[in-house]
Amino acid sequence: MVPVFYHSDIEVAKNVLKACYAGGVRAFEFTNRGDFAHEVFRELSKFATKECPEMIMGIGSIVDAPTAALYIQMGANFIVGPLFNPEVAKVANRRLIPYAPGCGSVTEVGFAQEAGCDICKVFPGDVLGAGFVKGLKAPMPWSNLMVTGGVKPEEANLKSWFDAGVTCVGMGSNLFPADMMKAGDWAGITKLCADALGIIQKVK
């Protein structure tokens, strides 16, 4: 499971990262979604190196090669995008950094695999559904798929995705409820992460 998160306040981001780490998370996607997001990521990446040494820090919402290069310089260990851009694949491949592009069709997944993408992101998951994953895996069983969008930390939801054949899931707002964020309930977020990972172990 990869939490998908963005916040403009570095202190909030640090608390969320530590909460996820305490809950057993070892891959974290910070999204490039706001002004100066790269400055927040730079500080968070340095913080992770000291405070969460086993965490693999990645960057999401990347749509072009220059932005990918910027984040690689700031310590991104993997790149995720809402779409597939072959130019991003070239930058990532040159630095041996995994690139998981967003794909909404079988053809896009095929082109992404051809460009060296080991994991493709099925996006938006809530639109495409588990049936898309199952249908794609039938003729292309080697495909490693991550789904983002429409993933919830609930057994029935996670079971449907893993039964369909996903390799991993990305989870955003459902891991970071607004009331918990507002209250600074970091222990609550730790529990949500731990519970979700426990469910995944059970249904895989």
Return the SS3 of 19.
Answer: helix
pLDDT computed for residue 21 by the predictor:
98
Mapped onto helix, strand or coil, the DSSP state of residue 124 is: coil
Sort 195 into a burial class: Cβ within 10 Å, 0-12 / 13-18 / 19+: middle
In terms of phi and psi (left: phi > 0; alpha: psi -120 to 50; beta: otherwise), the region of 74 is alpha
Report CA-CA distances (Å) from 164 to 26, 35, 63, 199: 24, 37, 27, 16
Residue ranges and CATH numbers for the domains of the chain are 2-199 (3.20.20.70)
Write the pLDDT tens digit of every residue in 7-41. 999 999 999 999 999 999 999 999 999 999 999 99
- Please report the pLDDT score of residue 155 as a whole number: 97
What pLDDT shows up at residue 18?
Answer: 98
> What does the DSSP 8-state code read for residue 174?
G
Nearest to 81 by CA among 73, 91, 17: 91
pLDDT tens string 133-179 = 999 999 999 999 999 999 999 999 999 999 999 999 999 999 999 99
Task: Report pLDDT digits (tens) over 64-114.
Answer: 999 999 999 999 999 999 999 999 999 999 999 999 999 999 999 999 999
In this structure, the strands spanning 27-31 and 2-5 are parallel
52-65: b (≥16 Cβ within 10 Å) or e:
beebbbbbbbbbeb
pLDDT for the residue 54? 98
Q: How many CB atoms lie within 10 A of CB 127?
A: 11
The per-residue pLDDT of the chain, averaged, comes to 97
| Residues paired with 27 in a beta bridge | 56
